[in-house]
Amino acid sequence: MCPKIRGLFTFSPKRTPAPCLLKVENWPGCMTPRDLLAVSPEFLAKAILHRREKIVDSLPSQMAKRQEERQIAANLAKDSRAKRDDLISKVSNLKKERDEAQTSANQIIAKLKILSDANSTKQFTKLIEIEKLDDESDKGSLLNIENLQSEIDEHKNWASKNVESKEISDDLDEMRQNANKLLEAGKKAHIALMELSKENNKVQSIWLENESHRRRCESRYTKLARCKKESDSAIEFWSAELTGDFSELLLDSKRVSKGGPSSRSLMKQNSGNKTSRRKK
């Protein structure tokens, strides 16, 4: 919206009594309907033109201020977005690292159980594969990884008592070592994800706040730019009208003076006709 400037010609419905419609500079009191009808079209056109010119004169400083705010807000939003995107990339890489380590560890554990059961008279009932970890802040999932590492250590003691083949024992030992390395790598990635999840919430909140501020600044600047465009158009229009006879603008006035309906009355009639057609 354009800034409110008190010029030659301003509406003042809240500051004046009911009979007062307009207030004009150097005019005694408020303009009544009778006063308004006595005002010439040329005077009103000049008053409107003067008001628009004052608005345009006031806009450059305001637009410069809003442009500075707009640029600062845009830079803040850009920086916070870059931090957010960088953090999202880190989270994505850690998830990938964790999930790949988990998948490889599960594959080794499955083979470990098959080889153990096939080469002993007593089965090892533990070593349940860990499920996919979807929540980077899930401490319970971290505990599952640690429990599985403990069960791998238990399997080492179990194998020394229940697997007789030296070759099979060596194969099982290598498989346990590889599984443990993968689980340890997955655990470190999961811990890093838990820590980043707290930072991620903070960075996301900062970005949302900065982005909201950027949009508000953009909106304020856009309103001023739109106001300038409208005012420039109005100045061009009323400047051109002042060189003519206002014939087009006085069509309604001439119709009323000849006893015809006012523009408001015509609007009501048209509205009533549309309503009647809908009912039919």
- Predicted confidence band at 24 (pLDDT cuts at 50, 70, 90)? low
Q: Answer whether residue 280 is part of any domain.
A: no
Compute CA distances 176 → 133, 148, 149, whole Å. 21, 11, 9
* Side-chain-side CA neighbours of residue 201 (13 Å): 7
* Domain that residue 163 falls in: 40-251
pLDDT per position as a tens digit, 271-280: 766 555 555 5
- 262 versus 95: the higher-pLDDT residue is 95
- Give CA–CA dist 147/255, Å, rounded: 93
* pLDDT at residue 116, as a whole number: 87
* pLDDT at residue 11, as a whole number: 40
- Give CA–CA dist 37/22, Å, rounded: 12
What are the structure tokens assigned to 148, written together? 């599985």
* pLDDT at residue 1, as a whole number: 57
What mean pLDDT do residues 17-46 have?
65
What mean pLDDT do residues 158-179 have?
90
What are the structure tokens assigned to 263, written together? 């523009």
Q: What is the mean pLDDT of the chain?
A: 81
Percent of the chain with pLDDT over 70: 80
Q: Look up the pTM and report it.
A: 0.61
* pLDDT at residue 8, as a whole number: 42
pLDDT per position as a tens digit, 122-145: 878 777 655 554 554 456 667 778
What's the structural domain count of the chain? Answer: 1
pLDDT per position as a tens digit, 94-124: 989 988 888 888 888 888 888 988 888 887 8
Query: Do residues 138 and 156 lie in contact, with contact meaning Cβ atoms separated by under 8 Å?
Result: no
Structure-derived torsion over alpha carbons of residues 12, 14, 19, 24, reported in degrees to the nearest 10:
-20
